[in-house]
Amino acid sequence: MSTPNLLPSSSIPGMFADTEEAMVMDSDCLDDSWMRRPLIPITIPEHLTFNPEEERARLHRQYLLMLEQAFSGTDSNTGIEESDETDAFLADEFRALDLESPTDEEDIANFFNGITKDKDYAPYPNKTTALLDILDNLPRLRLSTSQMQMILWLLKETGATDVPSYKVFRQLQADLRELCGSSPKAYTSGLGNHFYVNDIRDSVARDFSNPEIARHLQFYPEETDGPISEVWQAARWKEFSPAQLTPMYARGLRQFYIEELAQLKDGSYVIPHNWIIRDKILHADCTDASFSPEGWTVSSTTRSVAASEFELNFEDIVARLGDSDIVWKDKTTIPEMPNPLRKLAQGDDLYVVMIPVWADDVSGNKSKQYNKHINLYMVNSCLPGHLLQQEYFIRFVSTSPHATSPEQFSALRDQVRETETNPVRCFNAHTKRPCRFILRVPSLPADNPQQSEEASHIGGNGNMGCRKCHTGGPHEHTESDFGYDALHYEGVFRTAQEIRDELQKQLRQAMYGVEKTVSDMQTATGVKDKVAQHWIEQLLAKAKDLKQADPSRSIESVAEELQKWFDDQPGDKINPLLDIAGLDPSQDTPVEILHTILLGIIKYIWHMVHTSMSDTDRDLFAIRLQATNIDGLTVPPIRAAYMMQYRNNLIGKHFKTLMQTMAFHVHDIVMPAQFRLIKAAGALGALLWVPEIENMAQYLKDLDTLIGNVLDAFGDVDPSKILIKIKLHLLPHLLSDIRRFGPAIRNSTEVFECYNAIFRLCSIYSNHQAPSRDIALKFCGMDRLRHMISGGYYWSDGDKKWVQAGKSVLDILHSKPIIQRHLGWVAPTKLTPGLIRMKSKKKAIPVEWSMTKASEYSTRLNVPLSSLWRHGTTVTAQSGDRCAIGSWVIFKDDAMSDLYYVGRVYELLIHEQGASSDATQLVTLESFNLGDSLHPDFDCPVLQRVDSLGGKDFTVIESKLIQFIISVQHDCRLMHCRASLLQPQVQERQIMEKTNHAISHSDDEHFIINMFALHNATLLRKALPRSLTTPRPLYEDRRAHHAEIASLLRTTQAVKRAQTQEKRKATLASNRAKKQAAEEARKEKAPEHDGEYEGEMISDEEEAEESHDEQIPPPRKRRRGGRGTGRS
């Protein structure tokens, strides 16, 4: 029988007969040569009937399966459900549109030579290509290949000129990447995983050469007695040795290095030992040097000298005196001169840049189907904290579905360490001259399980569950009076050196081949490293093999052989983060408030509360929550019904809202202990989400009290919670973290979590053949675009100098707000305090002064009754808040006064003839008195209306006296407000006949200042009397209270363990009975089988039951993303 022709018909689109361009993808993303291989003829056995149509359909299905695999990876079950929609069925259409005509370098060159070039759009050829590149590199507006090709086709069809083909456009982007961008670098980890990394040195170099960034960079630690808002004002930077910080100060082309002789303007000589900012001025701590016949000497006292007092540096002094004339009397105490770092800088300014690095596992899919990637991002923490909350300043480092975070950190460590011996040269857009920089890693922001992994820690479910200290142990210890009390405080801190030593002990012990010994060491110390564990498992296996091969060998000889083998192996043997100078992963992983507070403490409380509610209580709570006055809270509109319906699936923004409002709505619903816990958590949250700290000592004292209240309140509700939830124990560590890193909000990872959305868009438009490379390459393109349109400098080989993009390119960022928003850049806005925004002239009809409420209460103002005024909508406070009618504000009655008052905006007025004058912009406020004591239930200040002759009292002030907005809630508990109102539902913007219940406030007189609100929390506490803001401990003698709780806990935990043991025994017995019954049934069907297997099974189960350890560990949580046991 002849072999039939199995080649598909050319009439079927996308079949193998026409596959040269069937899959239109980026040529550098997928090698499709396998699709062009000739088909191997298949011989059909004679006994089979051949049906051409069925065979064609079968081949078509097979082709579609292969096409799916090409997009989703080599394995069709990789779980990737989204990919670039450029497929074979669109290929014919694009070829017909003639979008792919240029196919070689000559055609591409001809295109560029034939178009009109515009130097104002350099380095782009013209405006068209510039706008196309912007459109293709907007972070949150990703385009697939097919979409970009359709855009190009659309431009051509509309008659636009100089429109490039798709391949020409991609070639242009590749050329721009070579000119002013960077490309991912390939790495292969010690475990054999391959991935790509965007060089962090290139990212920081672009920061220096970007004028929008360089002018904000701060390189020196600062000592301040005033507010602390930045990391360089806290203690962390000061922990680095002076040689690890920026070692020089530059004035013009002259650099003054530490540990070098310098001359001051008064002619005296000093040796500066560090550079530090004091009173907003750069200073150096110096020792005086003087010349004597015996040689130069140095005093033992240190004094602070302003940088402006330095005149000559070491090179100038040597040039004037000669190197032979600088002879030191006591050479042993004098550092090497010149400073070795001066030689590394080679005449350029030398700076040290701090780069915190974030890591976590992230899904590469937008759907719920999990597609695990490990991502690394970084920021430049030499920038102010308020800038680092913008996506514009986040930098992608690497991602991989295969390589773990330690493997990727290894590549980052190598880059950091290389800068120490070879500082990176770049252009400083602020000083307009070249400079060099060295990189340091000061911290590792992440969620708690990731930080445990970075700290080589066993995880929160281990006996020693804290990555930062040695608190913890078996239940006999943690349930004792001493052990339970210790969980409420910081323990003895871990150190990087201690972790290194412990890992070396574990590796050495693994060479003896006893797995239990290593496991016991990990359990006892809490040290378990992912990299070291890889080697431990290999060593244990090899030790076992060597012993089995020669049982007579001694353990020491086996260990010695394994030690030699181990020393010869390449790659990292332990956590690479332990090898970064100045970094201690155990202490430099600051507690992160998003996951620890919102997704930890508040989530636990919310679960306790809503699970204890009845359906009626849930409905009542939802109605109350919906009635919350959100003015002054800066939260999105509350969807109370949604939150209650999906109460087990809330996210961070919901918990942030609940933290600030829940206390006002749970009266008569929860138990008193739960109510105390809700209030304690709300008060703690308000003190943590502050951008600056006015008085660090007082702040930490207040914070210590509030943390203690939360932990003690948790103990009253559920004493065992702190045993199984490590996030509770981590709260005391906030004190040292804030002291070292500044406000906790500076270590929040919310901006990184938001940035994951950009990563996912890059992931789903990769063809998944090389996801690490594709995603890194796309981020390179976005970084390049951001750099170019921000005015970043790049080296021009043609001009032999550092240049910027053309004028028209630079104007795009500053003149197009839509581009700013898409790039995540918030343009600086100039606020005008006191400015009142008018209604439109159609709505704001001028009224006479006598018709305004202000005319009745403005005794101090001499305003003609016939003058015309217009009503406004909002007024800008001194803080920048926009306050509308009905907003509660803090104000002054005189600009020079130190007294603050509380009022509610009633009326905003602008004089018809003088709207630009402050004196002609007035605010009418409803007056309220601030109570002398706190509310007995809510522990918040109370407000009561000021009556004037039996009516309301008002105050009229100039608009510029409004200080800031606050959150105030009605005292529904005191006034017994009920859900007696009926409000019509609104669906699709239409008012329906259906109604919802709403709260009817009993009066408009009694209110409570919401001290749980996050917005303006610092300003509010500064304005109120200290007696109303001082935290009060729940228990004066906390240790005695903990001992009481521990006594109760031991009893309840013993009962729980006994119940669990009985349940386990019952389960074993039930399983044994079922197996016996099944075995008997099997014997009846197959009597020839004996019962040996049954006896062995029963014996094994009984033995397991007898040897079962009575200690019952806490229930293990579902692992997230396939992590190790540290996930919690």
**What spatial distance separates the first Cα and last Cα of the chain, rounded to whole Å?**
66
Q: Give the alpha-carbon dihedral of 51, 53, 57, 63, to 10 degrees.
A: 90
Name, in order, each residue with C-beta under 8 angstroms of 67's C-beta and a sequence gap of 6 or more.
14, 23, 87, 88
Q: What is the rounded CA–CA span in Å between residue 203 and residue 780?
A: 9
Task: Read off the pLDDT band of 460 (50, 70, 90).
Answer: very high
Structural domain contains residue 204: no
Let me know if 120 is exposed, middle or buried by CB neighbors in 10 A (0-12, 13-18, 19+): middle
Give mean pLDDT, residues 781-786.
Answer: 97
- State the average pLDDT for the chain: 88
Structural domain contains residue 1128: no
Spatial contact of 78 and 69, defined as CB atoms under 8 Å apart: no
Each residue of 646-673: pLDDT tens digit?
A: 999 999 999 999 999 999 999 999 999 9
State how beta strands 424-428 and 395-400 pair: unpaired
CA neighbor of 308 nearest in space, from 351, 279, 339: 279
pLDDT at 843: 75
pLDDT at 106: 67
Do 42 and 148 share a structural domain?
no
Neighbours of 147 (CB within 10 A): 16
Which two three-digit tokens encode residue 843?
A: 């709505």
Structural domain contains residue 701: yes
pLDDT at 217 over 60: yes
Spatial contact of 169 and 129, defined as CB atoms under 8 Å apart: yes
CB burial readout 1046-1075, b (16+ within 10 A) else e: beebbeebeeeeeeeeeeeeeeeeeeeeee
Structural domain contains residue 975: yes
Task: Please identify, among 980, 1012, 1028, the residue that sits at the C-terminal boundary of a domain.
Answer: 1028
- Which tops the pLDDT comparison, 120 or 48? 120
Lowest mean pLDDT among 352-361, 489-498, 824-833, 1029-1038: 824-833
Do 956 and 816 share a structural domain?
no
- Which tops the pLDDT comparison, 61 or 831? 831
Do 816 and 712 share a structural domain?
no
pLDDT at 113 over 70: no
* SS3 state of residue 647: coil
Do 844 and 803 share a structural domain?
no
Each residue of 70-92: pLDDT tens digit?
A: 544 444 333 333 444 444 455 55
Structural domain contains residue 1033: no
Do 548 and 690 share a structural domain?
no
pLDDT at 828: 80
pLDDT at 245 over 70: yes
Each residue of 797-808: pLDDT tens digit?
A: 988 999 999 999
Give mean pLDDT, residues 717-721.
Answer: 96
Query: Half-sphere exposure (CA, 13 Å, Cβ side) for 821?
Result: 4
Total tally of structural domains belonging to the chain: 5
Do 115 and 88 share a structural domain?
no
Neighbours of 1094 (CB within 10 A): 17
DSSP code per residue over 241-272: -GGGS--EEEETTEEEETTS-EEETTS-EEEE
Q: Give the alpha-carbon dihedral of 488, 489, 490, 491, to 10 degrees.
A: -80
Q: Domain of residue 932: give its range.
A: 836-1028
Structural domain contains residue 686: yes
- Which tops the pLDDT comparison, 848 or 75? 848
Do 130 and 82 share a structural domain?
no
Lowest mean pLDDT among 366-370, 593-597, 787-791, 885-889: 366-370
Do 864 and 723 share a structural domain?
no
Q: What is the rounded CA–CA span in Å between residue 779 and residue 34?
A: 28
Structural domain contains residue 142: yes
CA neighbor of 681 nearest in space, from 739, 755, 606: 606
Q: What is the rounded CA–CA span in Å between residue 666 and residue 606?
A: 11
Structural domain contains residue 258: no
Do 101 and 87 share a structural domain?
no
Do 975 and 844 share a structural domain?
yes
pLDDT at 523 over 60: yes
Spatial contact of 333 and 296, defined as CB atoms under 8 Å apart: no
Helical (H) or strand (E) element with 683: helix 672-688
Give mean pLDDT, residues 1088-1110.
Answer: 46
Task: Please identify, among 748, 782, 805, the residue that sits at the C-terminal boundary of a domain.
Answer: 748
pTM for the structure as a whole: 0.86
Lowest mean pLDDT among 178-182, 319-323, 702-706, 1116-1120: 1116-1120
Q: What is the rounded CA–CA span in Å between residue 810 and residue 808?
A: 5
Give mean pLDDT, residues 1034-1055.
Answer: 96
pLDDT at 842: 76
Preceding omega of 123 cis (within 30 degrees of 0): yes
Do 1020 and 879 share a structural domain?
yes
Do 934 and 955 share a structural domain?
yes
Task: Please identify, among 999, 1028, 1057, the residue that sits at the C-terminal boundary of a domain.
Answer: 1028
Which two three-digit tokens encode residue 857?
A: 């209460």
